[in-house]
Amino acid sequence: MNALKEDLLSGVQSIADYIGEDKQVAQRLITKGEIPAFKKGRKVFARKSEIDAAFRNAA
């Protein structure tokens, strides 16, 4: 359970911080589907492991 909690990013700002971009860039990448994310209610979530895999596959 703890590993899942450590893998989960909550909110666009935390996703932006993780990828080293600003919030607007992160939001654009999420909207375009280039960053795998999902919404629960009004909040956006992403898994670090899925973001890492997406960037590895893009490179």
pLDDT of residue 54: 92
Q: How many CB atoms lie within 10 A of CB 2?
A: 6
Domain count, the chain: 1
pLDDT of residue 50: 96
pLDDT of residue 1: 58
**pLDDT above 90 for 4:** no
Rounded CA separation 33/36 (Å): 6
Residue 34 in tokens: 């280039």
Q: What is the CA radius of gyration of the chain?
A: 11
The model's pLDDT over 35-57, given as tens digits with 9 standing for 90+, comes to 999 999 999 999 999 999 998 88
Average pLDDT over residues 2-29: 94
Average pLDDT of the chain?
Answer: 93
Taking alpha carbons only, the member of 2, 27, 3 closest to residue 14 is: 27
pLDDT of residue 5: 82
49: containing domain: 2-58
Taking alpha carbons only, the member of 2, 3, 7, 6 closest to residue 48 is: 7
